[in-house]
Structure 1
């Protein structure tokens, strides 16, 4: 079931209107910036988007302008990732086709105040279907801080979570 939901949502993500997506991304960025979890955070982790995903660069720029430390993920092994400081000129394309830091020291998850979590589909309880690698579920399993996601309305789907799934605390949907 998750595979069919993932495939259907990815298809819609790929064909969405780019102008509407850009406007929606700006609206969701403003909602994240106004969110109490973001406001209280000194260190935030987000992701570097694939073309069809929420454009997190606006969030990154705003967070850096506000003096927050911004981290992005780097895959370090099968099913394992860490978060490293975001430095625009020090990114390389990963095996998965997304940008990730080429250098830097991993930041302990206890030092991350807020993680902006990607996903393909989310249910009403905050559980997500990602791209299928389980990286975020593994990372979030013992993460003590706040989590938030930004999704388009068509990414809201009903499905049953599995025992290893970790919900996101807040989902902003537009």
Structure 2
């Protein structure tokens, strides 16, 4: 199965979840993250605002022990901005909420943990994204911070098709647990 076919099938399965099931599983993903030492020891965390029924991490964002950073899509790149719960957001080019352009910026090297949205991940740490390459470019930039893919359990697959530019994550978090692959950077 090609990446495109697999992406279509898994997005359809995710969209078919009931709102109640999505909320319950999202809450369990948040609980899994909160129990992780990578999360509890992090001061600055890059995250995402849920889109297309991705696991919703919003309950975590009220935690003032962490500085939160979120992406803005600018051209073919992600620019990271700090954001505090309650601050205004805008809708970006892809219909995803993002901080305003004038909010303070963050460099990925200045953070402690990166929570990466995905359509699917495999047991080797590779992720299937939406096909735009935004996170692939971030991950291939030589970043040396722990990266955890955030997905629902049905999208945690034995193996994904990969391309030469695909970069593995350090771990994957689902509603049933966190899997870390080898040594965290």
Taking the TM superposition and a 5 Å limit, the aligned residue runs for 1:1-174 are: 1-62=2-63, 64=64, 67-78=65-76, 80-87=77-84, 88-102=86-100, 103-141=102-140, 142-157=142-157, 158-174=159-175
Shift of 1:106: 1.9
TM-score, normalising length from structure 2? Answer: 0.87
Shift of 1:108: 1.5
Give the Cα–Cα distance (whole angstroms) in 1 for the partners of residues 39 and 59 of structure 2. Answer: 14
TM-score, normalising length from structure 1? Answer: 0.92
| Runs (5+) with no aligned partner, structure 2 | 176-185
Specify the SS of the correspondent of 2:106: coil
Specify the SS of the correspondent of 2:55: coil
Give the Cα–Cα distance (whole angstroms) in 2 for the partners of residues 60 and 136 of structure 1. Answer: 21
| Deviations 1:20-58 (CA, angstroms, capped at 9, x unpaired) | 221111111011011111111110010011141111101
Higher helix share: 1
Give the Cα–Cα distance (whole angstroms) in 2 for the partners of residues 160 and 10 of structure 1. Answer: 16
Specify the SS of the correspondent of 1:49: coil
Shift of 1:149: 2.2
RMSD between aligned alpha carbons? Answer: 1.3
Give the Cα–Cα distance (whole angstroms) in 1 for the partners of residues 87 and 62 of structure 2. Answer: 14
Specify the SS of the correspondent of 1:92: strand
Are 2:121 and 2:149, in contact at CA under 8 Å, matched by a contact in 1?
no
Give the Cα–Cα distance (whole angstroms) in 1 for the partners of residues 44 and 54 of structure 2. Answer: 22
Give the Cα–Cα distance (whole angstroms) in 2 for the partners of residues 59 and 129 of structure 1. Answer: 24
Give the Cα–Cα distance (whole angstroms) in 2 for the partners of residues 110 and 137 of structure 1. Answer: 16
Q: How many residues align?
A: 170
